[in-house]
Copies of this chain bind each other. A is one copy, B any other.
Amino acid sequence: MGIVVQKYGGSSVADADGIKRVAQRIVATKKSGKDVVVVVSAMGDHTDELRDLAQQVSPLPPPRELDMLLTAGERISMALVAMAIANLGQAARSFTGSQAGVITDSVHGRAKIIDITPGRIQRAIDEGHIAIVAGFQGVSQDTKDITTLGRGASDTTAVALAAALEAEVCEIYSDVDGVFTADPRIVPTARKLEQVSAEVMLEMAASGAKILHLRCVEYARRYNIPIHVRSSFSQKQGTWIVPEAKVGSMEQAIIAGVAHDRSEAKITVVAVPDKVGEAARIFETLADAQINLDMIVQNVSAAATNLTDISFTLPREDGQSAMAALARIKDGVGYDSLLYDDQIGKVSLIGAGMRSHPGITARFFAALASAGVNIEMISTSEIRISVIVDEADVDEAVAATHTAFELDSHEVEAVVYGGTGR
């Protein structure tokens, strides 16, 4: 009997009615003949409410204690989901991250999953129970302390469990219908993708598409777990994220979609002496401060020819600590000054078909130029082109790009997604 892992986000379990609705869907899946493992987030905005409570008590809460606090949210939602399922006549048992065997490192607030030892979950399934697992949390291998995996990481819990249990599919439920060619709030003509490769989805997630957590997609790709992203508010099919090998080349879209991201800031280190090792020193300093950089550009400085300017983007929330870390090495590196800009946005064009289609970049830039959008930085991969623009230009850039690549026309849909059985 196959195992289905279902993950329900906070909006799906926001109140008692939502929990009962979710329970019905879970029970229906069980009755269809599947073993079901459910991963839940905290109810609605409960995690943020707990975070606020922590702020009222302490401006800088100890990370271990913050994790202890925040994990209470899933404990509540999972117990309630298990109760609602029991009400429908099915046996359900809830498990904390620790009980479910989600073993992590000890980095509180953004712990990484090291291993999953799902013995108790497997036993619950074998006994005919539905297992309900707290998302977002685990237990550290070294200290046995409770850890959290970072914002949005319940998706990762779900896929990691699906991999450990060798599940058929990991269904990710939220309040949206699937993955779209662009954010429908910006591009009303954006369409739902029926199928997308894990590789492309990975670039979309990394480029700001919030539908799935980045690490979740990485996990799915590594362990070949198909993900079905769908809404808990309807019975509609959502978007399937499948290993690339299963997406036929005829069905592979040239362009899968346009993603955008307003969560980054840009730092420029001005007039760095152009000597071997100076850039390395800057990036080592940032790495020591646990800061993940995104795009990096180095240019000859306007100040003098033997100097260079180094610009990079990073999460805005890390802006302050990055600036502080760089300020400390100013004399050692001998740069002139630091610039900080958090009024930027990133617009990315993504598609596995790009590889074999020259001219995509030119068409992208032409679309932005026509829309009067100025490009500040550029970064490319095999299947993605990203540009940094003024934050105020993001909507227009996304819409213009979406139109330029004919993502909103019906014909393109037929070509791109024609292979999914219609």
Contacts and interface: CB of A to CB of B under 8 A. Distances in A.
B54 A83 contact: yes
A94 interface: yes
A58 B76 contact: no
Interface stretch (A67-75, A226-234, A301-309, A317-325): A67-75
A104 to B, nearest CB: 16
Contact of A82 (B20, B50, B62): B62
Nearest to A20: B57
Contacts of A84: 57-58
A110 B99 CA distance: 22
A78 B71 CA distance: 12
A65 interface: yes
A224 to B, nearest CB: 32
A45 to B, nearest CB: 15
Contact of A68 (B54, B73, B82): B82
A80 interface: yes
A286 B188 CA distance: 67
A167 interface: no
A79 interface: yes
Contacts of A59: 87
Contact of A79 (B69, B78, B86): B69
A346 to B, nearest CB: 35
Given A72-B76, A75-B71, A76-B72, A65 B86 contact: yes
Contacts of A20: 57
B83 A58 contact: yes
A80 B52 CA distance: 11
A53 B16 contact: yes
A161 interface: no
Given A19-B57, A58-B87, A94 B65 contact: yes
A72 B72 contact: yes
Contacts of A120: 144
Contacts of A73: 72
A53 B79 CA distance: 11
A86 B62 contact: yes
A111 to B, nearest CB: 16
Contact of A65 (B53, B79, B144): B79
A58 B212 CA distance: 31
Contacts of A384: none
B86 A80 contact: no
A27 interface: no
Interface of A: 16, 19-20, 50, 53-54, 56-59, 61-62, 64-66, 68-69, 71-73, 75-76, 78-80, 82-84, 86-87, 92-94, 96, 99, 120, 144, 146
25 contacts: A16-B53, A16-B56, A19-B57, A54-B79, A54-B80, A57-B80, A57-B83, A57-B84, A58-B83, A58-B84, A58-B86, A61-B86, A62-B83, A62-B86, A65-B79, A65-B80, A65-B82, A65-B83, A65-B93, A65-B94, A68-B75, A68-B78, A69-B75, A96-B146, A99-B144
Given A16-B56, A120-B144, 20 more contacts: A16-B53, A19-B57, A20-B57, A50-B76, A53-B76, A53-B80, A57-B87, A58-B84, A58-B86, A59-B87, A65-B79, A65-B83, A65-B92, A65-B93, A66-B83, A69-B76, A69-B80, A72-B72, A72-B76, A72-B79
